[in-house]
Structure 1
């Protein structure tokens, strides 16, 4: 009886963990930048055992640093699309595309090219 209970618990946990809506998020925030770049550029990556991975690039205030990743996320596919749309004057929007049967969604909002919020979500359990 113990073996049956143990097996059921392990099966439940395995099913639960594989069905968690795992996602990976990439976020870029640009605030108050200048023509020559940004003063502060900060990059963070989190990779928890369970839950979503997060990658964040934050660029603030006028300066001379490029707002760019030192260690870009390998799954980033649509950030460039959103940045291109912002450069073209489309300051708000979203776009989805499948890459190798994995859904990527990017959402962006900007007031100009120096004040931007972009988030790409990768849905890993499609």
Structure 2
């Protein structure tokens, strides 16, 4: 056999192997996955949704009496901001107006506008 024809046969064999590999991969692409199941972790539903409930309820959160957990339940307030809100409240004898929240580092006008419907003094 000539070198040219051997080369052609080798390239054709490589081409067939590549096609077989593609078909092999594609055949597994449409295999159905096992359905998954959501299971309870053992926490009570009331305990796990307590912080979020304060932000969703009709009752406003009083920033002069709110606990850290109640503040964290507000959209946009995490642990650090909740701590800062409480620190400011304790250092200044409480809030006289909700807009004083802008004196807390990390709370600007945008966040204040989001919080206004949910907080009171």
Q: Which has the larger Rg?
A: 2
Considering fraction of residues, name the structure with more helix: 2
Q: What's the TM-score once normalised by structure 2's chain length?
A: 0.24
Greater relative contact order (CA < 8 Å, ≥ 6 in sequence): 1
Q: What's the TM-score once normalised by structure 1's chain length?
A: 0.23
Considering fraction of residues, name the structure with more strand: 1
